[in-house]
Amino acid sequence: MATPPAATATNSAPTPPKPPYKAPPFSQPPSTAGAGKTETPAASTSTAAAAVVAAVAATGAAAEEPSYIITVPSYSAWFSYDSVSDTERRLMPEFFQGEAAAASGSRGPEAYKYYRDTLVKRFRVRPERRLTLTEARRGLIGDIGSVRRVFDFLEEWGLINYGVSLPGVKQGRDKREEPVAPQSSLPAGVSAPKKLCIGCRTVCGQAYFTCEKADITICCRCYVRANYRPGLTPADFKKVETSEDAKSDWTDKETLHLLEAVMQYGEDWKKISEHVGSRSEKDCIARLLRLPFGEQFMGPKEDKMQFETDDDITDESRAEISKRVRLTPLADASNPIMAQVAFLSAIVGSDVATAAAQAAISAQSQVDETNDSPADSSIGSPKEEVSSAESCYTNGFSANDLLKEASANARVQLEKERKDIEQSLSDIVDVQMKEIQAKICRFEQKELLMEKERQQLHYLQKLLFADQLAVVQHQCRPHAVTAENEADENPKPVLTS
């Protein structure tokens, strides 16, 4: 279950009833399109962008399509395991300011880093699964309040539970109005009534489950997550497939008509649907795609799929197409969107995937040029599709330039990295030398001290000797000479006597 159509509530999660964060002027991820970007989570609802940007590692995508997928704010280019960025310092002051934080214990920067790193690592181990606070805090040593705040912060900024569908029931309750509106505006070309899931209020995809007892329809996801009334058991539900063909079977005749029409009219879907008869344009396209050889026909047309709205397949192609290939070293394979892309491109075949990618790049550059909100792509009329498809192709060559530029950039950065490394190596060596020098100094000082002490001891010895001499002289004058000699040899016996 790749794209989460049930992610309706994610839009609301990043817009909590907290005061919106002051928009920090943090560096935006370089390759993301200008349109459709949001800086703060609170502003996410305002984007109506339809351009979807590929997410690599920590970068997020801003995407909204007319129907289900919800805007996720762009964010988090600043995240790195090695350090705490300014964004975090600003937004989580309890760990970084105040006398409690200075104690650097359970309240300090190290604690924040420990919580954050553990939470992110834990999520990334199973990125398709939602990490709950309870599960997370059970593995974290610290007080609940702080853990919860870090967890919420990370979730809001998409470093945790990004792209994972949320449990529909409780959280979606007051947000039902939002997804209902876009779904009611499904384009008129829908051939059969779509099944709406009671649990998460999204359109059920391939299959859904019905329950006779309560006359409820839920989608697969809700079924698996047991997102239905407590009184029902999994056994009460029956699975129903909803493939396009099942809705109304394509007879051979219709398929034949379709093929004829395609051969005859090429890309004019209106005429094709007329020729076929009682099939809408979308149905025809979908059916053609489903045919084993449909890809041959659909190669050049796939970029038009981004303007389709309700078909599952078209969803996938759109998601695939509109993602931009980012040339960064941070290719995190656990990222859900990249995994999707990999999966889809594996399915579809390399030729189609490259064609799609090319078209996507050219479309993206087009968007960049016009700097318009990519609401263009939501226009669905066939004629515009055709013309834009053509213009997409002529722009395809700019892809090469982009790639060259990108590789040059990469090389420059490599150089910089090398220089940095050398610099830091020499710094380290310097520091070591200084350490050794300091040690040598200290040892010299100690030697001096020892010398002094030794001299003092000698001096004392001599004094002692002189004293003894005096005593002996005093005691036995006649024996002074011999006593002296004795004293010379062994002072001790003289003393004890």
Partner 1 sequence: KFRMPTRDNLVPIRVDVEVDGQRYRDAFTWNPRDPDSEIISFAKRTAKDLKLPASFVPQMLQSIQGQLAEFRSYEGQEMQIKEKIMPLKIDLRVNNTLVRDQFLWDIGNLDSDPEEFARTLCDDLNITDPEVGPAIAVSIREQLYEIASQSVSAMREAKVSKKRRAPEFASNSKAMNNAVDMFKYFGSKGSVIRKRKEWYLYAPVVDVVPNEEVVVVDTTE
138 binds partner 1 (CB under 8 A): yes
Q: Which is nearer to partner 1, 224 or 428 (CB)?
A: 224
Q: What angle do CA 288, 290, 296 make, to 5 degrees?
A: 60
| Chosen residue from 105, 266, 277, 349 binding partner 1 by CB under 8 A | 105
- Contact positions with partner 1 (CB under 8 A) in 216-245: 226, 230
DSSP string computed for 323-364: SPP---S---TT-HHHHHHHHHHHHH-HHHHHHHHHHHHHHH
The secondary structure element, H or E, covering residue 216 is strand 216-219
Q: List beta partners, residue 239.
A: 209
Which one-letter DSSP state was computed for residue 308? -
Nearest-approach distance from CB 142 to partner 1, in angstroms: 6
Determine the Cα–Cα distance for residues 347 and 345; give it in Å rounded to an integer. Answer: 5
97 binds partner 1 (CB under 8 A): no
Residues 6+ apart with CB under 8 A from 14: 41, 42, 44, 72, 73, 156, 158
Determine the Cα–Cα distance for residues 354 and 448; give it in Å rounded to an integer. Answer: 77
The upper half-sphere exposure of residue 94, i.e. CA atoms within 13 Å in the direction of its Cβ, equals 11
Nearest-approach distance from CB 167 to partner 1, in angstroms: 7
Determine the Cα–Cα distance for residues 284 and 259; give it in Å rounded to an integer. Answer: 10
Nearest-approach distance from CB 443 to partner 1, in angstroms: 29
**Residue that is written with structure tokens 């974290």 in the block:** 140
116 binds partner 1 (CB under 8 A): no
Q: Which is nearer to partner 1, 134 or 371 (CB)?
A: 134
Determine the Cα–Cα distance for residues 166 and 93; give it in Å rounded to an integer. Answer: 28
Listed ranges 25-33, 70-78, 139-147, 323-331: which one lies at the site for partner 1 (CB under 8 A): 139-147
Determine the Cα–Cα distance for residues 39 and 25; give it in Å rounded to an integer. Answer: 8
| Chosen residue from 25, 145, 231, 292 binding partner 1 by CB under 8 A | 145
- Contact positions with partner 1 (CB under 8 A) in 158-197: 167, 170-171
Neighbours of 298 (CB within 10 A): 19
The secondary structure element, H or E, covering residue 207 is strand 207-211
| Chosen residue from 67, 91, 120, 142 binding partner 1 by CB under 8 A | 142
Q: Binding residues for partner 1, how many (CB under 8 A)?
A: 27
Nearest-approach distance from CB 156 to partner 1, in angstroms: 15
Q: Which is nearer to partner 1, 141 or 449 (CB)?
A: 141
What angle, 0 to 180 degrees and rounded to 10, lies between the N-to-C axes of helices 398-475 and 350-370? 90
118 binds partner 1 (CB under 8 A): yes
Listed ranges 70-78, 140-148, 175-183, 268-276: which one lies at the site for partner 1 (CB under 8 A): 140-148
Q: Which is nearer to partner 1, 116 or 137 (CB)?
A: 137
132 binds partner 1 (CB under 8 A): yes
**Residue 49 tokens, joined:** 């962008």
| Chosen residue from 107, 282, 287, 318 binding partner 1 by CB under 8 A | 107
- Contact positions with partner 1 (CB under 8 A) in 344-403: none
Listed ranges 143-151, 257-265, 339-347, 458-466: which one lies at the site for partner 1 (CB under 8 A): 143-151
Nearest-approach distance from CB 135 to partner 1, in angstroms: 7
Q: Which is nearer to partner 1, 124 or 194 (CB)?
A: 124
Q: Which residues bind partner 1 (CB under 8 A)?
A: 100, 103, 105-107, 114, 118, 132-135, 137-146, 148, 167, 170-171, 226, 230
